[in-house]
């Protein structure tokens, strides 16, 4: 007997990478081998010498095929064994290792928008739905679009053993969110990429597409973000560490360095309206959903917990965002003796 392994990887498409996958049939009980693909078809190689290497880094039961079949998250390498330039996970491995003693945890809120044809799901042809106000966490066919897909996606994520922790309908019709975590930097990122793959794959069977476009509808409609909640062991024990982490993200060149790596089009979403802070002004505050970084009210009450970086776009790369946060906050906490 044999089983099917769906090898999933991140391609080299600019400015925002896409997910790719293909199937390998393996003999029962076989280990997941290193595999290859044609990088010239994924923006990861020129035509000549286009072999690229897929190295399995995490695997999950495949909820779509079932049985012994698996989903396999991969890193992309050159044939000489060096990480391909599109392989952002390799850099996270190093930083996560360097700050491992701080026990960083992340919970990421992935917002996304369903499309049918060229219109967000729920937008009538040639017109617009009623203005925002009733859709967020709404119920009823006049407010909710795509629930069967969302429910199926949630089931699939749970069956795959992903650390999904919740879902909700968002502010714009056809817009939804799922949360992954809290998990370690590498785990939350691997799980988020596989959850994204499952989102596209699940919606495919309904004839619906999903997009991580940060501003899928122009005008007075909310954008789509990926709020990134973060804590270290010290932050989960001590409020001074919470404040130091929030401060460190605002120091020197850090705000711009982070913003530049928080997803293409971040300026179009972080306008200062629609529950965002302007992209070029760093701020943090307790319970403030108009700040770059929010300290949840419960965290102030408890004097410990986590912070929420509200800036990352829906189309961000979690390997990049978690690396920057672990690096910036981790080194500041170390310097301040808050570890």
Q: Which residues make up the interface to ligand ADP (CB under 6 A)?
A: 105-107, 109, 165-166, 179, 181-182, 227, 229-231, 236, 305-306, 308
Tell me which residue has tokens 């749970």: 158
Cβ proximity to ligand ADP: between 142 and 302 the closer is 302
Return the HEC string of 38-89: EHHHCCCCCCCCCEEEEEEEEEEECCCCCCCCEEEEEEEECCCCCECCCCCH
In whole angstroms, the minimum distance from the beta carbon of 313 to Mn ion comes to 12
Bridge partners of residue 124, in order along the sequence: none
Helical spans, DSSP H, in 229-281:
239-248, 254-260, 266-269
In whole angstroms, the minimum distance from the beta carbon of 228 to Mn ion comes to 9
Cβ proximity to ligand ADP: between 69 and 308 the closer is 308
309 binds Mn ion, rule: CB under 5 A: no
Nearest to 198 by CA among 167, 238, 237, 162: 162
Return the residue of 52, 227, 311, 323 that touches Mn ion, per CB under 5 A: 227
Length of the chain equals 339
Cβ proximity to ligand ADP: between 105 and 277 the closer is 105
Cβ proximity to Mn ion: between 75 and 177 the closer is 177
Cβ proximity to Mn ion: between 86 and 175 the closer is 175
Residue burial 323-335, b: 16+ Cβ < 10 Å; e: rest: bbbbbbbbebbee
Q: How many C-beta atoms surround the C-beta of residue 67 within 10 A?
A: 10
Q: Is 17 helix (H, G, I), strand (E, B) or coil?
A: coil
Q: Residue 305: which of ligand ADP, Mn ion, none does it interact with, CB under 5 to 8 A by kind?
A: ligand ADP
In whole angstroms, the minimum distance from the beta carbon of 299 to ligand ADP comes to 9
In whole angstroms, the minimum distance from the beta carbon of 169 to ligand ADP comes to 12
Return the residue of 177, 187, 190, 309 that touches Mn ion, per CB under 5 A: 177
In whole angstroms, the minimum distance from the beta carbon of 156 to Mn ion comes to 20
Would you tell me which residues interact with Mn ion (CB under 5 A)? 109, 177, 227
């Amino acid at each position: 007997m044999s089983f099917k392994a769906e090898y999933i990887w991140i391609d080299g498409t600019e400015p925002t990478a896409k997910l790719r996958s293909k199937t390998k049939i393996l003999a029962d009980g076989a280990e997941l081998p290193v595999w290859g693909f044609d990088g010239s078809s994924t923006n990861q190689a020129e035509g000549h010498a286009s072999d690229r290497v897929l190295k399995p880094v995490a695997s999950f039961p495949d909820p779509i095929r079932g049985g012994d079949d698996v989903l396999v998250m991969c890193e992309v390498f050159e044939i000489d064994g060096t990480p391909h330039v599109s392989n952002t996970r390799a850099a996270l491995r190093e930083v996560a290792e360097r700050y491992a003693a701080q026990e960083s945890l992340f919970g990421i809120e992935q917002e996304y928008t369903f499309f049918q044809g060229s219109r967000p799901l729920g937008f009538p042809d040639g017109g617009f739905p009623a203005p925002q106000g009733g859709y967020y966490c709404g119920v009823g066919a006049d407010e909710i679009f795509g629930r069967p897909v969302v429910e199926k996606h949630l089931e699939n994520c749970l069956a795959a053993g992903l650390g999904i922790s919740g879902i909700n309908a968002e502010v714009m019709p056809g817009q939804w969110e799922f949360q992954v975590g809290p998990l370690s930097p590498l785990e939350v990122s691997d799980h988020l990429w596989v959850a994204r793959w499952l989102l596209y794959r699940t919606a495919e069977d309904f004839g619906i597409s999903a997009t991580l476009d940060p501003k899928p509808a122009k005008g007075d409609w909310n954008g789509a973000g990926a709020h990134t909640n973060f804590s270290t062991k010290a932050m989960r024990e001590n409020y001074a560490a919470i404040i130091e982490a929030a401060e460190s993200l605002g120091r020197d060149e850090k705000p711009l360095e982070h913003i530049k790596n928080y997803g293409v089009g971040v300026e179009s979403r972080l306008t200062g309206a629609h529950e965002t802070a302007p992209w070029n002004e760093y701020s943090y505050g307790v319970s403030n959903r108009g700040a770059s970084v929010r300290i949840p009210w419960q965290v102030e009450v408890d004097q410990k917990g986590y912070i929420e970086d509200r800036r990352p776009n829906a189309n961000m790369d979690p390997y990049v965002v978690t690396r920057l946060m672990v690096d910036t906050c981790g080194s500041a906490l170390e310097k301040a003796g808050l570890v």
